Amino acid sequence: MAEIQAWASYGPTQQLQRYVYDAPPLAAEEVEIAVEYCGLCHSDLSIINDDWGMTRYPVVPGHEVVGRVVSAGEHVKGLKIGQKVGVGWNAGSCMHCHQCLGGDHNLCLSAQPTIVGHCGGFAERVRAHWVWAIPLPDDLDMASAGPLLCGGITVFSPLLTFDIKPTQRVGIAGIGGLGHMGLKFANAWGCEVIAFTSSESKAEEARSFGAHHVVSSRDNAALLKMANSLDMLIVTVNLPMDWAGLLKTLKPNGRLHVVGAVVEPMPIPAIDLIFGQKSVSGSPTGSPVALASMLEFAARHHIAPQVEHFPMSRVNEALEHLRAGKARYRVVLKADFD
């Protein structure tokens, strides 16, 4: 048994407390990673609050982990002790279902989320199946890389999956933790990039992240002006939107792609899907290969999330900052266990 120091929540909306747990012997295909940084994602809040009815307390949040391999089981492949790796939403998957064998491990029905029934990265060490411990390129800045592993892959993966071309026009709705990375990725991909935001104050910053145009998502006339202009619109917000208005911004064959977990059902007018042959879809994070491709792409194009740092010992302050909607644009905790 190995003791691991962590931060945990014991119930919905409860403050995180110091927590020590006994980790069983390392499994043959697992690595143990010494956490250096861990991003704070909105899904950590959702899990702490049990918004999705799947939380198991005490919960150790943290699923944007960056650190170094300190221990490896006997069947671990391709990773060395001391190697820099990242772990995102998933820490494991079955490795034998059609999805895993087909390379879509993130769609595995028995994937192991890093923070549900498994202790996450608000800790001195975290464990993952070696396939899900993604090597970090040497020239990627470790202090800001964390948010790429959940937020970053979530907005990058649709560009890969739907084979978006640099000649196409991509919209990003919601300029927050996910959206600001979406603007950077879509711009580096070569696309013409349109930011949709309800907050006028973010327009200038959206341009600095890579938006060629900024449109107010609250202004119906502005949305109508964008009619039939986008190949894909990636929606990162988790609030109800003017879905019919947003659908109209798509060209024929266009796609409205949802990555923000809106709780309310989305009213979608069928007639707008039929005429114009439009699609509505969603996706969860990305596969290990998509994660590795995203990290290489980020390193090559010098893409880093805009982050604010807190020591992990001030995790409750950091959570409050995120809860209050003040994060610009992602929060990263630096592990500071004694």
Q: Which of 40, 63, 25 is nearest to 317 (CA)?
A: 40
93 scored as a contact of Zn ion (CB under 5 A): yes
59 scored as a contact of Zn ion (CB under 5 A): no
**Mapping DSSP to helix (H, G, I), strand (E, B) and coil, where does residue 206 land?**
helix
Determine the Cα–Cα distance for residues 153 and 186; give it in Å rounded to an integer: 12
Q: Which of 1, 121, 115 is nearest to 58 (CA)?
A: 115
**Mapping DSSP to helix (H, G, I), strand (E, B) and coil, where does residue 270 land?**
helix
CB of residue 131 vs Zn ion: minimum separation in angstroms?
11
Stretch that binds Zn ion, among 147-155, 194-202, 263-271, 314-322 (CB under 5 A): 147-155
100 scored as a contact of Zn ion (CB under 5 A): yes
331 scored as a contact of Zn ion (CB under 5 A): no
Query: 158 with 290: CB under 8 angstroms?
Result: no
Nearer to Zn ion by Cβ, of 181 and 233: the residue is 181
CB of residue 64 vs Zn ion: minimum separation in angstroms?
6
CB of residue 310 vs Zn ion: minimum separation in angstroms?
17
285 scored as a contact of Zn ion (CB under 5 A): no
Q: Which of residues 27-56 bind Zn ion (CB under 5 A)?
A: 41, 43
108 scored as a contact of Zn ion (CB under 5 A): yes
Q: Are strands 112-113 and 90-92 parallel, antiparallel or unpaired?
A: antiparallel
Nearer to Zn ion by Cβ, of 66 and 246: the residue is 66
Which positions ≥6 away from 6 have C-beta within 8 Å?
Answer: 18, 19, 20, 21, 60, 119, 122, 123, 124
Q: Which of 303, 305, 308, 335 is nearest to 321 (CA)?
A: 308
CB of residue 18 vs Zn ion: minimum separation in angstroms?
23
Stretch that binds Zn ion, among 14-22, 72-80, 106-114, 125-133 (CB under 5 A): 106-114
Determine the Cα–Cα distance for residues 144 and 147; give it in Å rounded to an integer: 7
261 scored as a contact of Zn ion (CB under 5 A): no
CB of residue 88 vs Zn ion: minimum separation in angstroms?
7
Size of the site for Zn ion (CB under 5 A): 8
Angle subtended by helix axes 288-300 and 151-161, to nearest 10: 100
134 scored as a contact of Zn ion (CB under 5 A): no
Stretch that binds Zn ion, among 51-59, 148-156, 168-176, 209-217 (CB under 5 A): 148-156
273 scored as a contact of Zn ion (CB under 5 A): no
- For residue 21, whether the previous peptide bond is cis, meaning omega lies within 30 degrees of 0, is no
CB of residue 110 vs Zn ion: minimum separation in angstroms?
6
Residues that bind Zn ion (CB under 5 A): 41, 43, 93-94, 97, 100, 108, 150
